[in-house]
Structure 1
Amino acid sequence: MHGPHPSPARFSAPGPLRGTTGVPGDKSISHRSLMLSALAIGESRVEGLLEGEDVLATAAAMRAMGATIERGADDAWRIHGVGVGGLLQPQGALDMGNSGTSTRLLMGLVASHAITATFTGDASLSKRPMGRVIEPLGLMGAEISASPGGRLPLMVRGLCPAVPIDYRLPVASAQVKSAILLAGLNTPGITRVVEPIATRDHSERMLRGFGAELTVEEDGAGARLISIRGEADLRPQHIVVPGDPSSAAFPVVAALLVPGSEVTVTNVGLNPTRAALFDVLRMMGGDIVFANQREVGGEPVADIVVRHSVLKGIETPVETVASMVDEYPILFVAAALAEGRTVARGLEELRVKESDRIAVMAEGLRAIGARVEELEDGLIIDGTGGDKLPGGATIAARLDHRIAMSFAVAGLVSSAPVTIDDMGPVATSFPGFTGLMTALGAEVA
């Protein structure tokens, strides 16, 4: 985990950004590939795994519950699974670091096994509520004792056999959906989840790929009914993880905003439940082209070619929130440079991320001279029309990797450099971010 000593950095751009780059493997797919490989019988191989702290926390937890997970000299990971139902009692607490995804999905796995696991995390993760996962897993028979407010540390005592449930998600959440489906893997009968709005579907795609019996039906109103048959036998797989669209968002927006820039980001996953940011940036007038489109391991992939563009403010479509929820901080930076007003609403979820991302972005953008009005569920931003922001401030990133990277990009389009108080948390999702931006032409002090 990132250390106790902050690592500040100051970002600016002396000229255009140019070049071709890749981004780390998709975080959502990396987590799930480790978990499902650990539940298959035999050896799975994963290439392109994101080797950030969050994913390594998942690997450590699966090792603690009996899987053999090794990184080869060829950078590929090999996982020997224990089979569905075969998870072992971990000897110590499972340290989730900063990873909400690891925590919620692993709570689901443990819930239907006859084991007890204690989950701990860092200061930021320990503030995040887990009640949304606790409720359905409790209905399946797991006993969960959490700290006040449904927070970490918490203990899950699984039940085997667990009870299959039909559960309608009160709020669209891919993590809660995935936790229930993973619990359903070792639960007799059919477990069903109804999601009112489609969220990222990596769990469904990958569960099918590993051989689980899973169906998805849509009703006329846009809701999805996902059913999984339990006591599944998973087959080992060879997985190639595409580049993370959430990570690609930062060099893409930087290239749109810095005059004269042209950047290609290769091998980016463009799963439609994840990639709405690129659609929204195109709606704002962004010159973004998907080249070399192909399918890898059931996921659509392309190279993204981006050229500097003068963006126009828009009202962001509420229906895209679920498929770009993590990208709003960097979208707010783009909006601050656009012509006219951008209104983004329906973002209550951002208040319970690694930080309160609405409040922290509003405060930071104001500090560097942007015109921002904070709403209960979003922001209104009046852009500069392409002119640089004044900049010059030090931003408190609040241990939030996406806040830190968003203001790093803001520094590239500010008259005076922008300092981020701590870039350490970026290692959770995008190790190598600073080096990548430097290689494209950013200046980092």
Structure 2
Amino acid sequence: MSGHGAAQPMTSAPCGPLTGTADVPGDKSISHRSFILGALCVGETRITGLLEGQDVLDTGRAMQAFGAQVIQHGAGDWSVHGVGVGGFGEPENIIDCGNSGTGVRLIMGAMATTPITATFTGDASLNGRPMGRVTDPMALFGAQAFGRAGGRLPMTIVGARDAVGVEYTVPMPSAQVKSAVLLAALNARGETRVIEREATRDHTERMLAGFGADIAVEDTGKDRVITLQGQPDLQPQTIAVPRDPSSAAFPVCAALIVEGSDVLVPGIGLNPTRAGLFTTLREMGADLTYENERVEGGEPVADLRARFSPDMKGIAVPPARAASMIDEYPILSIVAAFAEGVTDMQGVKELRVKESDRIDAMAKGLRAAGVTVDEGEDWWKITGMGPKGVPGGATAEARLDHRIAMSFLILGMGAQQAMAVDDAGPIATSFPIFQGLMGALGADLRPLDG
């Protein structure tokens, strides 16, 4: 079953060259934060290019439940009339965050220092994921959390009254945890210091500064220290959301493994805390170039051109790069299967607690497709079979995980035989136009009777 209805099996057959322009949706991370920070201003924040996937729409509905007005004006064109820092009202009903770990964790942070109570739930996948990594630092502000065993949803958060700033060292490389603490700090008196041992995506810091927060970031050489002054008057903004590099990864990687392909993916955000996949692909020998490099809304942006790359080699991906590409390891493993030699991915234990255990899900699906995979708790290795070398001809379990489903559909495009997934429904959470976009490039994606 998908998170929002009956399972939707789909198959992807070997195809001819993928060619054309792939206009991928807006960045999911920035879209979530646009709704939340817009709700924490007084006045109208206008957003264009918003990703209208289920995850982001669930966050928009949550902001409405807390009292903000969220209005759609056209495709990707939205406005948020916010209630200000500390202005959230108590929701009348349970907040359903669907499949979105980012959404629920950021929203918990945003309300944790307001003296209201809210209950959160999600689909089967989200309700199986740990929330203690967020509720533990929220407790330092004085918030209380009451959930199922193991710190799992459904969960009720009782927000703190008169919260005071804290100092918190993030115990794992997680932009979600860091961002939740920073959002909680907005309504805490005084200064909050968040210390990262490893840098993670910095959209929250960039956007808080853009909205007028008093925030400073210092790289000490050992740690990354973020200092935020609480109780600011955030100012409404006009936000143009860049296109999502995590979504761009799928047409880019498909082009690299399908003979004769040449695909342009315009307007992709290349924030250095997000671009690790593209750096890795180029190190493997991918024919991937940046064109028309520019800065838009404070974020580096470029057009990506990807061409069929038959000479790619497996590499050891530096563990320090994991935080900048954690969501892209599933699709990287597909490319690795079509490269020559071994691709070694270390320091990736965060993949075990994503929408699914992504190491286990990808390992089982790749083995079913004829690929050799070795794995450990925080690492995995793919032995590549070269261009056209992957047999395919299997069905992979998506496990309610959009990135698993899309990754195996990409594999089918370059394999010897078609590849199927048992449920493509979760793809709508992040990339609702995936099937149509890939089909327009030349892919052969077809629903199966469930």
Same fold, judged at TM 0.5 (above): yes
Q: Kindly report structure 1 stretches of 4+ aligned residues shifted beyond 6 Å.
A: none
Please list every run of 5 or more consecutive structure 2 residues that lacks an aligned counterpart in the other structure: none
- Offset at 1:377? 1.3
Deviation at 1:378, TM superposition (A): 1.8
The answer (yes or no) to whether the contact 1:2–1:427 under 8 Å persists in 2 is no
Q: Which residue of 1 aligns with 2:303?
A: 303
**Percent of residue pairs bearing the same amino acid type:** 57
1:291 to partner: Cα distance: 0.7
Distance 2:28 2:15 in 1: 31
Where does residue 293 of structure 1 map in the other structure? 293
Q: State the match for 1:318 in structure 2.
A: 319
Structure-2 separation of matches of 1:421 and 1:408: 11
- Which residue is equivalent to 1:243? 243
Query: Which runs of structure 2 are paired with 1:23-422 in the superposition (5 Å)?
Result: 23-73=24-74, 75-221=76-222, 223-309=223-309, 310-422=311-423
Q: Is the 8 A contact 1:118 1:156 kept in 2?
A: yes
The answer as to whether partners of 2:274 and 2:324 remain within 8 angstroms in 1 is yes
Residue 75 of structure 1 and its aligned partner are, at CA, apart by 4.2
Once residues 43 and 423 of structure 2 are traced to their aligned partners in structure 1, the CA distance between those partners, rounded to angstroms, is 42
The residue that corresponds to 2:426 in the other structure is 425
Amino acid at match of 1:360: A
Letter in 2 for 1:161: D
Offset at residue 220 of structure 1 (A): 1.6
Q: CA RMSD in A?
A: 1.0
CA distance in 2, matches of 1:78, 1:416: 46
CA distance in structure 2 between the aligned counterparts of 1:188 and 1:168, rounded to whole angstroms: 19
State the shift of 1:163 in Å: 2.2
The alpha carbon displacement at 1:164 in A equals 1.1
Letter in 2 for 1:411: G
Structure 1 gaps, min length 5: none
- Scaled by the length of structure 1, the TM-score of the pair is 0.98
Asked whether the equivalents of residues 3 and 400 of structure 2 are also in contact (C-alpha less than 8 Å), the reply is no
Asked if 1 retains the 8 angstrom alpha-carbon contact of 2:15 and 2:414, the reply is no
Residues 335 and 382 of structure 1 are in contact (CA less than 8 Å); yes or no, is this contact kept in structure 2?
yes
Aligned length: 444
Whichever residue aligns with residue 135 of structure 1, its letter is D
Q: Which moved more, 1:12-21 or 1:56-65?
A: 12-21
DSSP 3-state at the match of 1:278: helix
How far does the alpha carbon of each residue in 1:130-149 deviate from its partner, in whole angstroms, 9 at most, with x for none? 11111110011001112100
Displacement, 1:3? Answer: 3.3
Instruction: State the SS of the aligned residue for 2:165.
Output: coil
CA contact (8 A) 1:371 1:381 kept: yes
User: 1:74, CA displacement in angstroms?
Assistant: 6.1
Paired residue type of 1:347: V
**C-alpha contact (below 8 Å) 1:16/1:261 kept by paired residues:** yes
CA contact (8 A) 1:160 1:187 kept: no
TM-score scaled to structure 2, two decimals? 0.97
Give the Cα–Cα distance (whole angstroms) in 2 for the partners of residues 444 and 152 of structure 1: 34
